[in-house]
Structure 1
Amino acid sequence: MRFDLTDLRLFLHVAESGSITSGAEQSHLALASASARIRGMEEALGVPLLERGRRGVETTEAGRTLLHHARMITQQMEKMRADLGEYASGLKGHVRVMCNTSALAEFLPDALAGFMAAHPQVNIDLEERLSYDIVQAIKDGLADIGVIADSVDSTGLETHPFRDDRLVLAMSPSHPLAAQLKRKRSMAFTDALGYDFIGLAGDSALHKYIAGHAARLGKRLTYRVRLRSLDAVCRMAASGAGLAVLPESAVLRSSGAMDIRHVHITDPWAVRKLLICVRHYADLPGYARELVDALRPAAGAQTDKVR
């Protein structure tokens, strides 16, 4: 049984895309050549690695085992290339980062901009996911670095402090709920569920997070409109069109440009600490370790830990 790196990278691309055609394109191989390589791997092992269907392919149990090892081997190759890159000019590094909505919209842009300016040879793939999906992706080797809320179980991963993230209820001062609250600065989430909401469009991680907590209260959020950015949601909430659950930092940033009120949500899930998570910091390529260091707060008083 002899697999080369081209075989492993091809299988990785096929398994992750669910398509031999897409895997071949990502691997810069002709479809016939890619198919022959996959068949050769299956013949060498004596077991099928993929289940082929009309809508694509899925990995078998043996395929999932190979996928795990292929990821580990390709990651080690990336680490070797990065470490050797310190002795050669022009080598690029590539870091895959997954984060939740608050980190993507509020905290990561400035932090990443400084890092990328100082490291022009490093490229970053940034993807928004729910925190529990990020944890699994890090464990499976689908991402190098994750930014998650501390409300999810990250057992087995190394975590480092990133930022505090409080979710608040934002509204126009003229909204009926604002008049009902008067001078109150906090309220339970359930008391807001009878009103219409403004939210984020698509499969936003923040939208799913809020909807999940409403469902646990036996409620379903009613959205008048869903928008693409936190700033747009702030503007619509300030207009009186509905309530919005937003990171407090987003509301405070917008408050200078619009008349918007916010109150703290007393439910425990609304007060979160964001954490950087990795499988093993020491095993990351050098440039990825530098990114983790750049993202961590300057005042590193909190202790890093393996959960």
Structure 2
Amino acid sequence: MDIKQLRSFIHIAELGSLSRAADRLNLSQPALSRQLNLLEENLNTQLLERTGRGVKLTEAGRILAERARVILGDLARLEADLSERRDHVTGHVNIGLPPSAGIVITGALVEAVRERYPELSLSIAEDLTGDIQEGLLSGRLDVGALHDGMISRSLHSEPLWREDLFLISHPSQVPENATEIAFEDVVRLPLIMPTPKHGLRAKMQEAAFRAGRPLMPVVEADALRVLVDLVHRGLGHTVLPRSSLVAELSTGRLKARRIVQPGMARTVMLSWLQDRPLSAGAKAVIDTLRELAGTVPMGD
């Protein structure tokens, strides 16, 4: 049984599509199909059934997918343990951070890594949670921060910090001394929100569905800078953690009201690919992020 074939099979099983798995793995679909055929021949069993919408696992395929995740995870940890050099960390680490988390942690992360591991270089990409997840799954990123939600089972994920969410508004649109706002009142306002690809939008839509309220933003924008600028212009309101807008809130440029009834929060998750060995550099970054997470403000 070939390890490469197992890794490819896990991606096919997760996505339910040969074409999408081929895109993620940067392979042609015929090449991926050959890997699957060889795996089925070696095991002498059918692992997938073709459907009109893609593929689905057979019973044998389901068993293999569960066992393969364990095997590949153990192999990755073994390879990392055998190759690790804790006394001399070098190399390069690619990190993905969503914009709001990046504002909070990037400076401290780079400062700490440069001080402790001067021969380790970093590339930091700021992107949406969905794009960071795809970067981790494809191997383009070594370590990433994701917001809780639909995180792939192929990723190891652990909580870094929790963020309370606030309604962010222009000062002229906030009643005097108002510090809280009910969720049902939030969804009645003209909202400026990220597109559905963003984890925050998905969280808002889920809360709106539970409340029996429609969520219909007046503007969609996936850039934090654009969201903040549009709110400052008085064109609507948005939802963000306070920690990502410290400067704007401290100067009074924007106002924040805690969302209540129900309260809203999200968790920033530290993530990496389970079946890919972590370099000593990636482990150093992970340990540093774990340490720095304790310094991040959770709410007020």
Tell me the TM-score normalised to structure 2 length. Answer: 0.69
| Aligned match of 2:254 | 260
The one-character-per-residue Cα deviations of 1:32-60 (angstroms, maximum 9, x if unpaired) are: 6x545533432443431011245543332
SS in 2 for 1:9: helix
Q: How does 1:211-250 map to 2 (within 5 A)?
A: 211-250=205-244
**Compared with structure 1, are the counterparts of its residues 71 and 190 closer, same or farther at alpha carbon in structure 2 (3 Å cutoff)?**
same
Match of 1:48 among 46, 62, 69: 46
SS in 1 for 2:218: strand
Of structures 1 and 2, the larger Rg is shown by 1
- Higher alpha-carbon deviation: 109-118 or 210-219: 109-118
The one-character-per-residue Cα deviations of 1:131-162 (angstroms, maximum 9, x if unpaired) are: 2323xx3xx3x112344xxxxxxxxxxxxxx3
Q: How does 1:1-307 map to 2 (within 5 A)?
A: 3-16=1-14, 18-19=17-18, 23=22, 26=25, 31=30, 35-53=33-51, 56-86=54-84, 102-103=100-101, 105-110=102-107, 113=110, 118=117, 119-120=120-121, 124-125=141-142, 131-134=148-151, 137=152, 140=153, 142-147=154-159, 162-175=160-173, 178=174, 181-255=175-249, 259-271=253-265, 274=268, 289-297=283-291
What are structure 2's unaligned runs of at least 5 residues? 124-139, 296-300
CA distance in 2, matches of 1:30, 1:200: 32
Q: Is the 8 A contact 1:230 1:246 kept in 2?
A: no
SS in 2 for 1:208: helix
What are structure 1's unaligned runs of at least 5 residues? 148-161, 302-307
- Higher alpha-carbon deviation: 18-27 or 162-171: 18-27
**Compared with structure 1, are the counterparts of its residues 289 and 229 closer, same or farther at alpha carbon in structure 2 (3 Å cutoff)?**
same
The one-character-per-residue Cα deviations of 1:268-287 (angstroms, maximum 9, x if unpaired) are: 5335565658999xx98765
CA distance in 2, matches of 1:207, 1:225: 12
**Compared with structure 1, are the counterparts of its residues 113 and 53 closer, same or farther at alpha carbon in structure 2 (3 Å cutoff)?**
farther
**Greater RCO, CA 8 A, separation 6+:** 2
Following superposition, the deviation at residue 6 of structure 1 comes to: 3.3
Aligned residues, how many? 271
Following superposition, the deviation at residue 61 of structure 1 comes to: 2.5
**Compared with structure 1, are the counterparts of its residues 109 and 267 closer, same or farther at alpha carbon in structure 2 (3 Å cutoff)?**
farther
Q: Is the 8 A contact 1:101 1:205 kept in 2?
A: no
Tell me the TM-score normalised to structure 1 length. Answer: 0.68
SS in 2 for 1:250: helix
Following superposition, the deviation at residue 130 of structure 1 comes to: 5.3
The one-character-per-residue Cα deviations of 1:274-307 (angstroms, maximum 9, x if unpaired) are: 5658999xx9876555444211245969xxxxxx
The one-character-per-residue Cα deviations of 1:9-31 (angstroms, maximum 9, x if unpaired) are: 34234434521795499486893
SS in 2 for 1:242: coil
- Higher alpha-carbon deviation: 220-229 or 19-28: 19-28
**Compared with structure 1, are the counterparts of its residues 66 and 231 closer, same or farther at alpha carbon in structure 2 (3 Å cutoff)?**
same
The one-character-per-residue Cα deviations of 1:198-229 (angstroms, maximum 9, x if unpaired) are: 11124211111122222222211231111112
